[in-house]
Every structure is written in C-alpha cells, then in structure tokens.
Chains A and B, each alone.
Chain A
Amino acid sequence: MPDLAQFLFLLFSIFTVLCAVGVVVNKNAVNAAFCLLLCLVGVAGLFVQLDAYLLAFILLLVYAGAVVALFLFIIMLLDVQGRQSFGFSGLTTFAGLMSFALLLTGLGTIAVRGHLDAPRLNRLAADGAHMKLYAYHLFTTYLLPVQIIGFLLLIAMLGVIVLSKKHDGLEDLK
C-alpha cells in the first residue's frame, strides 16, 4: 500500500511527462504552449514535495505566469497555424529509432544499476526552501555568480537590440 507521498509523486511525474509529450506531439502551437504550462505546474508540484517551496513558487510565477504567457501572446499575435507534418527520410527515421533505442537502454541501465537510497529529506538542509536563507546565500556565498549574471543579462539585452533594431542604411533579409 503506497503512502500518500509516493502516490502524489507518481501522479505529478506522470502528469509532467504526459504534458511534455503533449508539447512535442501537438501540431497546434497554442495547444503546445498550454501543455508546456501544465508541464511546468507538474514540475512545481514535484518541487513542493521536495520542500523546495521557493523554487516551486518561482517556477509558477516566472515561467508559467510570465514566460509561457508571453509565448502564448506571441503565438496569437503571429497567428501561427499548425504546420503540415514534414516527411522524414528513411535515414532520419532510422537514426531516430536508433536514438530512441539507445535512450531506452540508457534509462533501463540507470533504473537497474543507478539505484540510490532516498535520503531522509528532513536531514538535509534545504538552501532553496526559504526566501530568507536563499537570499543569504545569494548575497554572501554566491555573490560573484549573481554579479556575472547581471552582466549576462546586460549583453543579452544589448544583443536583442542589435539583432532586431532597424539601422540606417541596413537592408535586412525579407
């Protein structure tokens, strides 16, 4: 008789995997984006089970709330229709099947040989669980990576401007 935690884990995992498959399989872009949103909700559920409330919250707020909502806006603005499925050549199908077989073998091997006893969660200090602890870490131990990510975001923003803005005398590809 599995207990509630195991049942919830299985529920969220299966839900997440099914939604992830839905993102790939769906031909309609809007449906695919919705599947991605549900997939993220499932992952957030898994994080809650690991006592990582902050991560779960950020995932819902930033990814599900903002990023995927933005995707949906763009898809609707561009009015992307479901594409015709393009045919695969024999070689591509063969390579795909081989990769799938390799993936299954790998998963099987990990399932058989990679077993680890699950640690008792309450024995681990969850750094990312609480806002305060998380912030302490960010501003003491990991201050340098935070500063680097500041520069990363700056160059990403500059890059978007350079690659998308109209410049005088520049003939862009149509």
Chain B
Amino acid sequence: MDISVLQTLASRNLWGAITPEIMLGCLALLLLVLELLFPKQQHQAVPAAALVGLLCVLSDVLVNFQSAYLGEETFNGLLRHTPGGQIMRVFFLIAAIMVCLLARVSLAKQRMPRVEFYHIVLVVTAAMMLLAQANHLVMLFVALETVTIGLYILVSYYRTSSLTLEAGFKYLVMGALSSSILLFGIVLLYGVAGNPSLPAHTAQSMHYGQLAAFLAANPHNFLASVGIVFVLAGVAFKIGAFPFQIWVPDVYQGAPTPVTAFLAVSSKAVGFTALLALAGTVFASYAWLIAPVLTFFAATTLLFGNLAALTQHNVKRLIGLSGVSHAGFLILGVAAVSRVPMATGAIYFYLFAYLLASFAVFGVMTHLAGPDDADQELDHYAGLSKDHPFLALVLAIGLGSLAGIPPLVGFMGKLFIFIAAFQAGLYGLLAVAILGVVISIYYYFGWIKAAFFETWANSPDAPARPARTPVDFVTGLALGALALSTVILGFYQGPLGAWLTRR
C-alpha cells in the first residue's frame, strides 16, 4: 500500500471531534493516579474529582453543541456527528453524573473499594457517547462490548451478596449470548454486502451508508434479512425487549442500586440509539421485514412488562419490569420513525423524561437501602411521608412521571410518542400502549400508597427494615433538581421540546 494513501487515511482521524470522550478517558486514568498519590484517609476526594470532571466535560459539550464537525464523517467513516449524537452525549453525561452521586451514597454502606467503580463508570460513559455517534458496524460492536464488559463488573460489584453474584453471572451469560447473536448478524451482513456477484456490492460493507445503499439495491435478499433479524435481536437483548427480557428482573434486583439505575437508563438508551440508527436509516429499505418485527417487539414488551410488574413486591424487580414496559413505549416510537420523522425527537424527549424520573426514584431507593442492597421491599416504604416528607415527595413525583400522570414530564413524553404513532397509523399498537399505561398506574400507585398511606407495623417476627438516615446536602440538592425539572418540563418544554419535535 502506498504511503501517501496511508497518510490520507491517518489524516482523517480527527481526534478533535471526540474531545469530550478523550477528556473522559483521561479523567478515568487520573482517578487511578489520584488513588495512588493520596493517602488512604483522603480517598473520598476521588468521587468529588470524578463529579467535577464530569461537570467540566458536560459544560464543554454544551458550549460546543454546534460543533464544527456536525454533519461530517470522521475517522474514515467510523463516526458521524449529528445533532442527535450531541443530544445523546449530553444524556449519557447527565446519567453518569447521577450514577456517581448515587454511588457516593451506596458505596458508603459497603466495604468495597471505591475508585474502581467511578473509573469504570467513566470509561463506560465514554464508550456510550462514542456509540451514539457510530457510523460503522465495527465501531458499534467495539463500543457496545466496552459498555457491556464494564457493566458485567459493575453488576457483580457488591460481591459479598449471593444475589449480586447470581445477577453478575446471569448478566455475563446473557450478555455474551446477545453479543454473539449481534456479531453473527453483522458477519452475515458483511458477507452478503461484500459478495461481488450481487449488485451494488461494496468493499466497505460495514459502513452504515454503504450498507444502506447495498440493502436498497437488494431489497429482498434472504441472507441479508437473516442478518438484519439477528442484529435486531442482539440489540433487543440490550434494551430488554420481549422475548429477550428474561435476564431483567434478576439482574436488576442483584445489581447495586446505582448500577441498576445505570442499566435502566443509560444501557437502555444505548440500545435505542443503536436501534434508531439501524432500524431508522440503515435497514430502512427492509421495512417489509423490520416493521412486523418492531410491531411484535413493541406489543409483547408493553404487555409483558406491565403485567409482570403487577405482582412484584421487591421494588428493584418492580422498577426493572416497569423498565421493560418503558422499552415497549420507546419501540413504539422506533416503529413510527420510518413514516414520521418527528418520532426521533419524541424518542429523545421520552429518554430525557425517563432519565429525570428514574433517577429521582433510584435516588430515593439508594438512600433508603440498607446494607443488603438487594433486599428492598415495598413494605420498607411504609410511613415514608412521615419520616421523610421530602423523599416521599420526590418519590411521588418520579413515580407519577413514570406512570405518565399529567402535568409531569413523563406524560408529555408519552404524549409525543403517541402522537407520532398516531400519525404513522399504528392504531393497534396505540391501543396496546394505552392499555399498558392503565395497568402501569396500578403498580406505580401501589408504591406511592405504601409511602403515603401505610404505617410500618413493627411486628416481632417480621424482619426489621433498614434504618432511616437524614439526607445529605448534595443528594438532596440533586434529587430536588430532578423533581423540579420533572415538574417544570411537564408544563413548559420551551425551546428544547420545540427543537426536539420539529425534525
């Protein structure tokens, strides 16, 4: 190969385009160095360093939101920078800040090492941000594997609990299975699109644009459709869509609560950014195939998530299964994307609404959890409104938003998705979704009822519930901000909502 060709290839690696991710990687390494340098008594400074660093990166992304690279492909087509990618960068950074805040509370109740947790969260967040801009199947897979392997470790972090170890093992096996299905699909697509006997074959058959062009030229290739179904199944594992939701309740229960939040919010959003890019654009010419697949996913996921959550008593399992139903609403949006462009914005809005409400609920859960993190029952919330009116209020606002009660932001998120689905003519799915909302109100309000209207019966044979401690200032501030923005964004979406739904 000629040296000038290589120089051209290397010159397309524009590292400036991924400054936030590079900053996160450096910050993660810095944490390890700080742990070495500081004496053991001052290790609590490390989480603060992680938080300050994350805030700096977030402000950098927000300041450079209209980046010069928007609309361009960098790294020889591996990445493509879009406004959607910028939104998801902000999303993952906010989620990482919240996970670090929750980890501060949760790790204080455990005797595990601290610094590694933050390090892994930062690396995983950087990989998620890159994944949101991926424009190439190699990039998608490498970033997704980095996310998944980081989460294997985080899920089994509290290794002294047998439920946590079980969750880690299950997540490892299911994650490996889903990655191999995804990889098999990618390989099939690569092989078919690179075959010289087919029209529009390409040497760069993992590049989204080239692959889309090939698929448009061969709209009924059998092997390509098998590959597409495998790729969709692999992604469906990550978002916990039915029938790939089997790991969700056990893993969500066993994982440390901050990690459960990370799985529920960020990991799900990762799956949806990948699904939006793939189903919305790359596979668009195979609408005859992906439309029924997505319809099946959406309907069964909505019904399964809501019906299974009805009978749960452990709040982590409950929120996990309700997360499955939220994935159903989002898939409904993805199913509408090909016909209604506004659905993309609706999905981003729903993800943000879900982020705010989920972290409010997870924040309360983390604060109330005892030393045994997996043991969080609905009964433990009895009388919360008397002991902790503030936490009870935050919980009620978060749960109300998750259930989609007007005027909270969750209602607006669902409304935008429903409008998109209505415009796309998905009336059957819309009926299922509304049924799902009605069912979900039952179990969300069961939780609110436990917090507000029940009193803790101190019977001698019942196991004691975890002691209630006062909320520290930083956690209180974060929870208050989440609850407040949930309320305000419900009334007034402002330029953000207009910008999201305009496209």
A binds B: yes
Contacts from A to B (Cβ < 8 Å): 110, 113-114, 116-117, 119-120, 123-125, 133, 136, 139-145, 148-149, 151-152, 154-156, 158-159, 161-163, 167-173
CB pair A117–B160 under 8 Å, yes or no, is: no
Number of interface residues of B (CB under 8 A): 50
Does B1 lie within 8 Å of A136, measured CB to CB? Answer: yes
Instruction: Check B142 for interface membership: any CB of A closer than 8 A.
Output: yes
Residues of B60-110 whose CB lies within 8 A of A: 75-76, 78-79
Considering the chains assembled together, what is the distance between the CA atoms of A82 and B116 in angstroms? 37
Task: Give the 7 A-B residue pairs with the shortest CB-CB distance, closest first.
Answer: A159-B153, A140-B9, A117-B197, A145-B142, A152-B146, A114-B223, A113-B222
Contacts of A114 in B (CB 8 A): 222-223, 226
B75 touches A144 (CB 8 A): yes
| Residues of chain B within 8 A of A110, CB atoms compared | 222-223, 226
Q: Is B152's CB within 8 Å of the partner chain A? A: yes
Which parts of B136-178 form the interface with A (CB within 8 Å)?
138-139, 142-143, 145-146, 149-150, 152-153, 156-157, 159-162, 165
Q: Which residues of B contact A145 (CB under 8 A)?
A: 78, 138-139, 142
Beyond A123-B196, A155-B119, A156-B153, list 15 extra A-B contacts (CB 8 Å): A116-B192, A116-B197, A139-B10, A140-B6, A140-B9, A142-B78, A144-B79, A152-B149, A155-B146, A155-B150, A158-B119, A163-B159, A167-B111, A170-B160, A173-B162
Q: Are B120 and A158 in contact (CB under 8 A)?
A: yes
For window 10-51 of B, CB contacts with A under 8 Å fall at 10, 13, 18, 25, 28
Instruction: Give the residue name and chain of the A residue nearest to B162 (CB).
Output: A173
> B residues within 8 Å of A by Cβ?
1, 6, 9-10, 13, 18, 25, 28, 75-76, 78-79, 111-113, 116, 119-120, 123-124, 126-127, 130, 138-139, 142-143, 145-146, 149-150, 152-153, 156-157, 159-162, 165, 192, 194-198, 203, 222-223, 226
Q: Which residues of A contact B138 (CB under 8 A)?
A: 142, 145
User: Does B119 lie within 8 Å of A125, measured CB to CB?
Assistant: no
CA distance A123 to B75 in the complex (A): 27
- Determine the chain A residues whose CB is within 8 A of the CB of B1 once the complex forms: 133, 136
Given the known interface contacts A117-B197, A141-B9, A143-B13, the answer about A149 and B149 at a Cβ–Cβ threshold of 8 Å is no
In the complex, the answer to whether A124 meets B196 with C-beta atoms within 8 Å is: yes
Q: Which residues of B contact A124 (CB under 8 A)?
A: 194, 196
